[in-house]
Amino acid sequence: MCGIVGYIGKKEAWPILIKGLERLEYRGYDSAGIALLDKGNFSVYKKKGKVAELSKFIKDKNSNELSGGVGIAHTRWATHGIPSDQNSHPHLSNRGDIVIVHNGIIENYLSIKKVLINKGYKFKSDTDTEVLANLIEDIKKHEKVSIDEAVRLALTEVVGAYAILVLSKDEPETMIIAKMGSPVVIGIGKGKSKSEFFVASDATPIIEHTNKVVYLEDGEIAIINKKNKKLTLKIKSIKNNAIKNPYIHTLKTKIEELEKGGFPHFMLKEIFDQPESLRNTMRGRIVFNKGSIKFGGLEKFEKEIKNLKRLTVTGMGTARFTGLIGEYAFEELSNIPTKVEYGSEFTYRNIADTLNTGLIAISQSGETADTLNAIKKAKKEKMLTLGVVNVIGSSIAREVDAGIYNHVGPETAVASTKASTSQVLLLVMLAIYFGRMRGLSKIKGQEILKEIEKLPVLVEKILKNAKLIEKLAKKYKKYNNFFILGRKYNAGTAMEGSLKMKECSYIHAEGCNSAELKHGPISLIDKNFPSIVIVPMDSMYEKMKSSIQEIKARGGLVIALTTESNKELKNIVDDVIYIPKTLEILIPILAFIPMQLLAYYISVERGNDVDKPRNLAKSVTVE
């Protein structure tokens, strides 16, 4: 899983490529590299570490070494081979005639490598990508074909996932792009600079240059080259060379949405975005007089949706945890038996009966391979597939039969925040939507909708107290273990809270259903093992209070997260975080926020790289 960027046009390519890599760094940041093509010569620069390292290295070069209006670049999340300069992309072929960047995995690379080694090819890296570069070179040499045909033929031999950009010395005004399983977008230059193209793993590096884009589909190869002094784009099928007609999308994302907006980190900005992002998620969808919801994206499938007898909810990481909350909502409001599955497991196990079963796939990025594979499996099983996705035009959004978008704008920090609260909100809204087709009363629908509409203001109220949570972070930053406990809707909240602590603060936090505590985990409790207990004044309040007593009786520290009117807990626990009152089904949306803030502030206190925690990537496009 990596980010790729390409530019071909009249401008100097390298500043555009470096900026593009910075925007794509969320996809991986083990190493970065750039290849420029000028007057038939390649200059390739690569560096282990973040894009900033590469940028510093490049800025020290003289302008001759950096000239070129054609270039490709890459930011890596290691799959084959350790993060190192050697394994960084771009990769040159043996003769140095072809250069390539790749996002994905070539599964049969070892058998191809063996054949190439027998032919005398040498390899400098451990990557599958260098194998592909040499396979293309070998085909070009033996078949005496153009670079696009050589790439196409090579791709008919590989098994796996890829988005690749390829340049060849022999055809210096040509760029080849191909896709199977990994995303790639082509931006078409506008105005005077129409004769230029921008390519990237997603639209964030492109949007400041043009809003006209083409999403390459699986199995397609695109050729950008010069015809009558003008660059043109042609798309063909990898399988049979058939010409495809590109559909040009007009993007609406604004560039300011991509910036930090004055906050020290994207994560904090995105936490504070939540009143607005929740408004955007519900905008235009609440039909109060009917006590229902309108989802334009689902209308075409209303008949199939009415016939659904069961639901499987899938996703990974945060998306699966929000799914756990959705499970309770679907069973309570829609009366549909529901289960939650890891995308990774659903793909590889036997599914007993799929008749009238719908799959709801949740994904911020819309690119998570485990989730995408689950959708493909569900489609084979003839299940109706529905998506809850943030990134418009992403692979999952295009793969599902129908879907709804979060509309929270780009989420850049690796830790999911505004997408997660929006996911919970959309799942509750979906539960109302399904429920109104299955006997949920209009009055009950209206009662929940009224509370949903209040959420942005309640979130603003929580955010006003961020300083109190910053203080708690200073107090608790020294602990290396935490329990996060909840029940019913907030069992999922506890899991999500613990994931935030792990990924941002590097603290071992265990999200646990508090009823389970007494069945084993409680033996871990001592004065160095604090618990965050999600104990709002809801149907589980008394049970949760018992869990607190059990922990206190064993000398454990407790931070209680409770409803603002609750006065009794402050005398029992060590610290209290208050959230405003709302319906039980909506509490997770409010309870997520103090957890996000606590994980954020502890991460800052510990000096971690908040937006790009170690070993992680924003979008996990490998299995």
Stretch touching ligand M6R by CB under 6 A, among 45-53, 237-245, 313-321, 584-592: 313-321
181 DSSP assignment = B
Give the residue with the Cβ less far from ligand M6R, 87 or 493: 493
Q: Are 453 and 282 in contact (CB under 8 A)?
A: yes
603 binding ligand M6R? (CB under 6 A):
no
Query: Can you state the angle between helices 587-605 and 418-436, rounded to 10 degrees?
Result: 170
326 binding ligand M6R? (CB under 6 A):
no
363 binding ligand M6R? (CB under 6 A):
yes
Give the residue with the Cβ less far from ligand M6R, 373 or 619: 619
Output the smallest distance, CB 415 to ligand M6R, in A: 4
Pairwise CA distance, residues 108 & 552, whole Å: 56
446 binding ligand M6R? (CB under 6 A):
no
For residue 519, CA distances in Å to 527, 560, 562 come to 20, 21, 24
Output the smallest distance, CB 318 to ligand M6R, in A: 3
Decide: residue 439, CB within 10 A, 0-12 exposed, 13-18 middle, 19+ buried: exposed
Give the residue with the Cβ less far from ligand M6R, 308 or 319: 319
416 binding ligand M6R? (CB under 6 A):
yes
Residue 532 pairs with which residues in a beta bridge?
A: 484, 559
Give the residue with the Cβ less far from ligand M6R, 97 or 496: 496
- Pick one of 55, 88, 129, 365: the residue that binds ligand M6R (CB under 6 A): 365
Peptide bond into 521 cis (omega under 30): no
Half-sphere exposure of 567 (CA within 13 A, CB side): 0
Residue 101 pairs with which residues in a beta bridge?
A: 165
Output the smallest distance, CB 425 to ligand M6R, in A: 15
Judging by DSSP bridges, how do beta strands 3-8 and 197-200 pair with one another? antiparallel
- Pick one of 277, 281, 619, 621: the residue that binds ligand M6R (CB under 6 A): 619
Half-sphere exposure of 613 (CA within 13 A, CB side): 22
- Pick one of 200, 458, 579, 620: the residue that binds ligand M6R (CB under 6 A): 620
Active site residue 512: no
Output the smallest distance, CB 190 to ligand M6R, in A: 30
317 binding ligand M6R? (CB under 6 A):
yes
Decide: residue 122, CB within 10 A, 0-12 exposed, 13-18 middle, 19+ buried: exposed
Output the smallest distance, CB 606 to ligand M6R, in A: 17
Give the residue with the Cβ less far from ligand M6R, 2 or 414: 414
Q: Are 525 and 531 in contact (CB under 8 A)?
A: yes
316 binding ligand M6R? (CB under 6 A):
yes
414 binding ligand M6R? (CB under 6 A):
yes
Choosing from 2, 47, 504, 612, which is the catalytic residue? 2
SS3 423: helix
318 binding ligand M6R? (CB under 6 A):
yes
- Pick one of 270, 273, 503, 510: the residue that binds ligand M6R (CB under 6 A): 503
Count of residues in the chain: 623
Residue 171 CB: number of other CB atoms within 10 A?
17
Pairwise CA distance, residues 141 & 152, whole Å: 14
**Dihedral of CA 135/138/139/145: which sign?**
positive
**Dihedral of CA 378/384/388/393: which sign?**
positive
Judging by DSSP bridges, how do beta strands 357-363 and 310-315 pair with one another? parallel
Active site residue 19: no
Residue 100 pairs with which residues in a beta bridge?
A: 91, 166
Pairwise CA distance, residues 82 & 495, whole Å: 31
**Dihedral of CA 416/422/423/424: which sign?**
positive
415 binding ligand M6R? (CB under 6 A):
yes
Stretch touching ligand M6R by CB under 6 A, among 69-77, 84-92, 220-228, 360-368: 360-368
Output the smallest distance, CB 370 to ligand M6R, in A: 8
Contacts of 174 (CB under 8 A, 6+ apart): 147, 148, 167, 168, 223, 224, 225, 226
Residue (of 589, 596, 584, 590) closest to 488 by Cα position: 584
Give the residue with the Cβ less far from ligand M6R, 312 or 371: 371
Give the residue with the Cβ less far from ligand M6R, 317 or 530: 317
172 DSSP assignment = T
Output the smallest distance, CB 611 to ligand M6R, in A: 11
Give the residue with the Cβ less far from ligand M6R, 79 or 619: 619
For residue 332, CA distances in Å to 304, 367, 438, 492, 580 come to 21, 30, 12, 15, 23
Output the smallest distance, CB 2 to ligand M6R, in A: 15
364 binding ligand M6R? (CB under 6 A):
yes
Q: What mask of x and - would describe binding to ligand M6R in positions 460 to 499, judged by CB under 6 A? A: ---------------------------------------x
Give the residue with the Cβ less far from ligand M6R, 504 or 525: 504
- Pick one of 201, 368, 373, 621: the residue that binds ligand M6R (CB under 6 A): 368
- Pick one of 371, 422, 505, 582: the residue that binds ligand M6R (CB under 6 A): 371
- Pick one of 13, 139, 235, 319: the residue that binds ligand M6R (CB under 6 A): 319
Report the Cα 369 to chain-centroid distance in Å: 10
Choosing from 46, 50, 377, 618, which is the catalytic residue? 618
Give the residue with the Cβ less far from ligand M6R, 166 or 389: 389
> Which residues in this chain contact ligand M6R in the complex, by CB under 6 A?
316-319, 363-365, 368, 371, 414-416, 499, 503, 619-620
Q: Which residues are tagged catalytic?
A: 2, 618
